[in-house]
Structure 1
């Protein structure tokens, strides 16, 4: 058994050559993103050392350390965002989906109930939507509508 590829036939694991290629592409993309993160973290450490050597006060040295922590956090955040993009690309190619990325800030649901006898999401004005059912889900006992 080749350790680089998942076992075919198991749930959620690649089976065909195309699925293996998609899996490998995601894995390689993740490795490249992790390498970029490491480079950014090393750069942040070098910048911190340079700032600390030129700093004359404890406060300036503390600021240099805080800047390094910020750069490291940004690098880790970018890594997680890129990994999420790679996973989405894998799903898109696996299921043939093409998602349109929407701005989350403009699609916030409004809490509450829609008018009786309506289904789905309805615009309430102002570009916001609300579900037509209670937030806890449909009422119990009404399995088939």
Structure 2
């Protein structure tokens, strides 16, 4: 039972990796088409490579979690701290919920505890 669940989870993670790589390639094509200099095209290629490497890293992390889940029989709810400089998906806490480390009170939204009044839509003229 666990092997089937692990295989299905790995297949889903692999599919997500392929989607992420396809998105990175499409984004690279858009950036290259709008690039005006050779350096901008090089930057677009390097961004794609970084996104592909991140997608592969996410796949390997997911597979490791699936193997651990199979081994220990429970799902791990790890929320890894993002690596600085990556553009991956990050889980953010709502504003005002973090425990401050310096003794300064955390900001809350909206300031003053009231929502701004006025129209909720904007007209473009």
TM bin (shorter chain) = 0.5 to 0.7
**Pick aligned residue for 2:7 from 24, 27, 38:** 27
Task: Classify 1:67/1:98 alpha carbon distance in 2 versus 1 (closer, same or farther; 3 Å).
Answer: closer
Segments ≥4 residues shifted beyond 2 Å: none
Query: Which residue number in structure 2 is paired with residue 140 of structure 1?
Result: none
1:87 aligns with 2:67: yes
Please give the residue correspondences for 1:32-47 in structure 2 after superposition, counting only pairs within 5 Å: 32-47=12-27
Name the SS for the 2:27 alignment partner: helix
TM-score (norm 2): 0.59
Question: Partners of 2:37 and 2:50 in 1: how far apart?
Answer: 20
How many residue pairs are counted as aligned between the two chains? 79
Please, which runs of 5 or more residues in structure 2 have no aligned partner? 81-125
Please, which runs of 5 or more residues in structure 1 have no aligned partner? 1-20, 104-145
Please give the residue correspondences for 1:1-145 in structure 2 after superposition, counting only pairs within 5 Å: 21-93=1-73
Question: Partners of 2:48 and 2:41 in 1: how far apart?
Answer: 11
* CA RMSD after TM alignment: 2.1
Which of the pair has the greater relative contact order for Cα pairs under 8 Å at 6+ separation?
2
Question: Partners of 1:31 and 1:46 in 2: how far apart?
Answer: 23
8 A Cα contact 2:69 2:75, kept in partner: no
Question: Partners of 1:32 and 1:67 in 2: how far apart?
Answer: 24
